[in-house]
Structure 1
Amino acid sequence: MKQALENIRILDLSRVYAAPAGSMILADLGADVIRIESPEGTDSMRDWGPFVKGESAYYFSANRNKRSITINLKSASGKALLLDLVKKSDVVIENFKTGTMKKLGIDYDILKSVKKEIILCSVTGYGQTGPYSKEPGFDPVIQALSGLMDVTGHPENEPTKVGIPIADILTSKYVAISIMAAIRMRDANGVGQHIDLSLLDVQISSMANISSGYLNADMVSKRMGNQHNNVVPYQVFQCADQPLMLCVGNDRLFRSLCLLFNHSEWGTEERFATNDSRLQNKEILVEKITLIMKSKSADDWLKLFSNFQIPAGKVNTIEQAMEHPQVLARETVEYLHHPKMGEVKMTKSPLRHSGLNIMSKSSPPLLGEHTHEILTGELGISQAEYNDLKRDGII
């Protein structure tokens, strides 16, 4: 079975998470993604633990299904090698600070002079324009600036970042989407383009109901802990043994909850009958539900909630999440062979298509693992030339 992007080649000059995770999505779909790294190994993710046999598990999370070559892009010979690869490629991805590609002599104008159909995807913290365009952008800073931290955490505590690099993760999805859209357009009109992706743009656009509430109703949301700004009851409750997330998203579900709690009268009582009225009387209702929830274990409640089709789930650790029967049934974890570590485990692509073979071909590459293979086998460089490039620190 063919893969969706098997005839697409991507040169990935990016580092850390957002852009590499985006190119990994495309690699999962069959694209030939070639990571171009410095001979000194300047992707700081390779230096972040935990480590297994000297290799970074963090790096693994964004780099399966790729090949890696090393090129010193600051040298004329290195730049020439890159441009030779551009001639045989469809897309270049980079996440240098704004202006760095121009300083290196490999900006979009140069790339399209070598191949007019080339697509360049630039990922930065703030974009290619605006007063902050040349500032470095890091995920926690973007979370702070975007307003995300101000609505995350408990109201009595300080603003809190999300437990994963959410701005990077969201941006990685737009990396894949924007590149596939650009490929589609290129196939239609034969013209490439420069994609300008900003972590701040992505995070602002991802504020969803928070931003819409402010822009249209002048509502400034505040931190609500594990509660919801606009829906009640919709929060974590402590059971007899552990916490459980309960999401009663509409009035029909609330009436089902009332029946389950043996308090059917709540469903018609003026102060609780509608979500608006529950919002007005949230403290009273939450106090009542809290007392009831403590009377049974989480597993006991989950069985009851399932019978009534009320959405709920235990607050799992990552260990418990990986052992959840649904996660196991979906075979979410895959096993890949690594040249140094042997077998490695990764969470595989969540994409499931009936007519596409979305598969992992290879584990995350060692630094420069495929340099010889690509330069001699695909660019036709002789062994003598390769040895000279190696000796001079170009590769």
Structure 2
Amino acid sequence: MNKSAKEQPQALEGIRVLDLTRVVAGPYGGSILGDFGADIIKIEVPGKGDDARGYGPYRNGESMYFANLNRNKRGITLNLKSEKGKDIFRKLVEKADVLLENYRPGVMDKLGLGYDELKKINPGLIYAACSGFGSYGEYSQRPGYDIISQGMGGLMSVTGAPGGAPTRSGNAMGDILGGMNMIMGVLLALHAREKTGLGQRVDVSLVDSVVASLENAYIRYFDSKEIPKRNGNAYASIAPYDTYQAKDGYVIIACGNQKLYEKFCHLIDRDDMITDERFLTVPLRVKNNLIQKAEIEKWTKARNVDEIVSIILGAGIPAGPIYDVKQITQDRHIADDREMFIETQHPVIGPMKVNGNPIKLMDMMPRITRTAPTLGQDNKYVLKEILEYTDSDIEAFAASGVI
């Protein structure tokens, strides 16, 4: 890390984002923009807020789940069903560069706040929407959650033990992919605006995001018409590239090319596997992976995970342990060197660690300068300092349920 990065201006400094998103995909994407200096104003329903405020774990009555996904944001409440709420929102749009939303397609249009109306107010606005199935197409009005995107996008069909049930990935992968793609779309649109002076609408689907992530599964199907099956931890295109049983757990060995494979065979004193007709080529090794795996495990089962990793890495062959969450938080490279867990001081929760940002701009490193807002925390600041409403205006808005 370039230590002077902490003194550099942030990459997105001066970009103002209105964040109407809820739960995971949109809030995750918005936090990435905030980590790089964008001024994020999270807009929530008065009295209720983001659904994720109801998800545990809690500390001191505040959701740590919400706090992890919504750092580096100001927070206001605004009733977009009221005329005054809409007026305030339109004034914010005038001063914004980006709007993020993940309502079902058409909801913002019914409120009179869809892109076609908002671009009249601010032609430079980038309007990014993330939904289950996208804003057009036969399924556009279906509700979408992460597990549905993993199921209909194909991820569950290739995840799990051979012959076992379709399995959801252990995290909200569809949501995370959707949030990342939405933010990539925003950054592309910001760059395009430099050329055209105009904003545009960004449309991202969770299902599309999962489909695009399955890399070679569809290519294999188009080529052979074979439907990819669940293959455990093996990879359908490379072998040996799998998990192998050790004395005290499981270890990953990944021989991504012929040179690495031959080096591995020499290392474990199994030169016979280089000339064995079943293992001569990558496609043959994939076909006979279970047979070869049993041979490799004769070597791995006699050793501990740490010993195996040390021996194999020492020979320049990719290998690694399988960490649980505790082990990840204790790994110095991940937790400390790469700063993937950041200590923050929330005003209600108190000290807590949040996930770090995986993107490292070496001269403009991500920073967490603001913890997630409590509900409506920044109403007064945004309304008074940005929109220039008076204290009496703000009191009236609160009394009438506008904020």
TM-score normalised over the length of structure 2: 0.95
For 1:350, the equivalent position in structure 2 comes to 358
Does structure 1 conserve the Cα–Cα contact (< 8 Å) formed by 2:71 and 2:373? yes
C-alpha distance after superposition, 1:324-381 (max 9, x if no partner) = 1321332322122211122221122122223224211111111111111110111111
Return the alpha-carbon distance in structure 2 between the equivalents of residues 112 and 299 of structure 1: 58
Return the alpha-carbon distance in structure 2 between the equivalents of residues 238 and 134 of structure 1: 46
Q: Aligned to 2:341, which of 333, 340, 344? A: 333
Return the alpha-carbon distance in structure 2 between the equivalents of residues 281 and 317 of structure 1: 30
Q: Aligned to 2:215, which of 204, 208, 221? A: 208
Superposed counterparts of 1:230-379, under 5 Å:
230-327=237-334, 328-379=336-387
How many residue pairs get matched? 395
Residue 20 in structure 1 maps to residue 27 in structure 2: yes
SS in 1 for 2:148: helix
For 1:111, the equivalent position in structure 2 comes to 118
Does structure 2 conserve the Cα–Cα contact (< 8 Å) formed by 1:125 and 1:142? yes
Residue 124 in structure 1 maps to residue 124 in structure 2: no
Does structure 2 conserve the Cα–Cα contact (< 8 Å) formed by 1:2 and 1:357? no
For 2:163, the equivalent position in structure 1 comes to 156
Given residue 394 of structure 1, which amino acid in structure 2 is its aligned partner?
V
Structure 1: 4+ residue segments shifted above 3 A: none
1:238 shift after superposition: 1.2
Does structure 2 conserve the Cα–Cα contact (< 8 Å) formed by 1:48 and 1:59? yes
Worse overlay, 248-257 or 265-274: 265-274
1:269 shift after superposition: 2.6
Return the alpha-carbon distance in structure 2 between the equivalents of residues 82 and 36 of structure 1: 9
Return the alpha-carbon distance in structure 1 between the equivalents of residues 49 and 310 of structure 2: 51
Return the alpha-carbon distance in structure 2 between the equivalents of residues 294 and 91 of structure 1: 54
1:64 shift after superposition: 0.8
For 2:16, the equivalent position in structure 1 comes to 9
SS in 2 for 1:196: strand
Q: Aligned to 1:82, which of 74, 82, 89? A: 89
Worse overlay, 310-319 or 335-344: 335-344
Return the alpha-carbon distance in structure 1 between the equivalents of residues 362 and 200 of structure 2: 31
1:279 shift after superposition: 2.7
For 1:92, the equivalent position in structure 2 comes to 99
Does structure 2 conserve the Cα–Cα contact (< 8 Å) formed by 1:337 and 1:362? no
Return the alpha-carbon distance in structure 1 between the equivalents of residues 134 and 358 of structure 2: 29
Return the alpha-carbon distance in structure 1 between the equivalents of residues 110 and 203 of structure 2: 18
Does structure 1 conserve the Cα–Cα contact (< 8 Å) formed by 2:127 and 2:200? yes
SS in 2 for 1:225: coil
CA RMSD of aligned residues (A): 1.3
Superposed counterparts of 1:36-185, under 5 Å:
36-185=43-192
Does structure 1 conserve the Cα–Cα contact (< 8 Å) formed by 2:182 and 2:203? no
Given residue 123 of structure 2, which amino acid in structure 1 is its aligned partner?
K
Worse overlay, 150-159 or 256-265: 256-265
C-alpha distance after superposition, 1:271-296 (max 9, x if no partner) = 22322222333332111112221100
Return the alpha-carbon distance in structure 2 between the equivalents of residues 303 and 128 of structure 1: 50
For 2:402, the equivalent position in structure 1 comes to 394
TM-score normalised over the length of structure 1: 0.97
Does structure 2 conserve the Cα–Cα contact (< 8 Å) formed by 1:142 and 1:200? yes
Given residue 367 of structure 2, which amino acid in structure 1 is its aligned partner?
M
Q: Aligned to 1:384, which of 373, 379, 392? A: 392
Does structure 1 conserve the Cα–Cα contact (< 8 Å) formed by 2:160 and 2:232? yes
Given residue 373 of structure 2, which amino acid in structure 1 is its aligned partner?
P
1:41 shift after superposition: 2.1
Sequence identity of aligned pairs in percent? 35
Does structure 2 conserve the Cα–Cα contact (< 8 Å) formed by 1:241 and 1:297? yes
Return the alpha-carbon distance in structure 1 between the equivalents of residues 126 and 362 of structure 2: 29
Return the alpha-carbon distance in structure 2 between the equivalents of residues 281 and 104 of structure 1: 58
1:270 shift after superposition: 2.4
Does structure 2 conserve the Cα–Cα contact (< 8 Å) formed by 1:23 and 1:175? no
C-alpha distance after superposition, 1:288-314 (max 9, x if no partner) = 112221100001111101111121111
Return the alpha-carbon distance in structure 1 between the equivalents of residues 70 and 236 of structure 2: 37
Return the alpha-carbon distance in structure 2 between the equivalents of residues 196 and 280 of structure 1: 40
TM-aligned CA distance change 1:157 to 1:280, over 3 Å: closer
SS in 2 for 1:343: strand
Return the alpha-carbon distance in structure 2 between the equivalents of residues 200 and 283 of structure 1: 32
Return the alpha-carbon distance in structure 1 between the equivalents of residues 253 and 396 of structure 2: 64
Superposed counterparts of 1:28-39, under 5 Å:
28-39=35-46
1:61 shift after superposition: 2.7
